[in-house]
Amino acid sequence: MPMEPAQDGETVGNSKKTLSDEDYEALANLRFTLRRFMDFSTSAAQEEGLPSQQHQALLAIKGHPATEAMTIGTLATRLLIAPHTATELVGRLSTAGLVQRHADLEDKRRQTLTLTEKAEAVLLRLSAVHLKEIREMAPELIIILQRLQREIA
């Protein structure tokens, strides 16, 4: 038996809700705002002489809890990349003098990663401009997220 088309916001079939025009607008605005931020982030990293992925790696290493060792495998997980890609990335960071590798004290097969002073200085500058940009975008993002959350409640 064919279903009749649902009106915006109406429940259909197995209680699956259709999306309203406002839902689509909020989703589109969220993607646009996130893409604007990512474009900003890429440009800021390039101004520091870093590809975006290297900046993301430095931030992942710096932001990792000090109580846990940052390994190449953990970095791969945090960046959503394959372990061999993370190994290549760490190699480039090491060659650039941004990351040091150390044999893990508990498991000699693993390497732990630490940032160099050079990386710390670059990351400090990048993080400062990123936080400024996020703080400027926050009101817009909060409004978008509140619109999306209203539909959940």
pLDDT digits (tens, 9 = 90+) for 42-93: 999 999 999 999 999 999 999 999 999 899 999 999 999 999 999 999 999 9
Flag whether pLDDT at 3 surpasses 80.
Answer: no
Q: CB under 8 Å to 125, separation ≥6 — which residues?
A: 48
Inter-residue contact 59 to 127 (CB < 8 Å): yes
* Model confidence band, residue 118 (pLDDT cutoffs 50, 70, 90): very high
For tokens 């975008």, name the residue. 137
Torsion of CA 81, 82, 88, 93, to 10 degrees: 30
pLDDT: which is higher, 59 or 12: 59
